[in-house]
Amino acid sequence: MKSAAKDVDEYISRAPKEIQDKLEEVRAAIKAAAPAALEGISYGMAFYDYKGWLAWFGLQKGYIGLYIRPPVIAEHKKLLAGYTVTKSAVHLPLNKKMPASLIKKLVRAGVKKNEASK
């Protein structure tokens, strides 16, 4: 079994070449929405911390999972129609363009939640 990537650059570089750009797009959207967030690896995925857990993303089979703490996804249910969602995840299909503005909106909502709880 491979060891976990030491940072997000390594995490992305380990992905298949044809998917690396999509992972970079998700990363750029998160960083744009939360420029003060600390980036690292947690649970074997890219992780962002801003006044607490903020977001993760990881390559899954057929999609990139964007993980945000509840209740952000439930609060954006209408915007997420057409995506597979769980209580804390949005599945971003690999065969579609990465929705940067949607990712930014979700991450900004997470930032507000974390700021309000601190």
Q: In this structure, are residues 90 and 66 in contact, taking their beta carbons and an 8 Å threshold?
A: yes
Any domain includes 73: yes
Domain that residue 94 falls in: 8-117
Average pLDDT for residues 54-63, to the nearest whole number?
Answer: 97
pLDDT value of position 4: 83
Average pLDDT for residues 9-22, to the nearest whole number?
Answer: 97
Q: Number of folded domains in the chain?
A: 1
Tell me the percentage of the chain whose pLDDT exceeds 90.
95
Bridge partner residues of 90 (DSSP)? 66, 85
The overall average pLDDT reported for the chain is: 95
Any domain includes 82: yes
Any domain includes 3: no
Say how far apart CA 97 and CA 22 lie, in whole Å. 8
Strands (E), the chain: 38-42, 45-49, 53-60, 63-68, 84-85, 89-93
CATH number, domain with residue 82: 3.90.1150.200
Average pLDDT for residues 48-73, to the nearest whole number?
Answer: 96
Contacts of 41 (CB under 8 A, 6+ apart): 4, 5, 6, 7, 8, 11, 47
Q: In this structure, are residues 90 and 106 in contact, taking their beta carbons and an 8 Å threshold?
A: yes
Any domain includes 56: yes
Average pLDDT for residues 14-28, to the nearest whole number?
Answer: 97
Any domain includes 32: yes
Any domain includes 2: no
pLDDT value of position 1: 45
Any domain includes 31: yes
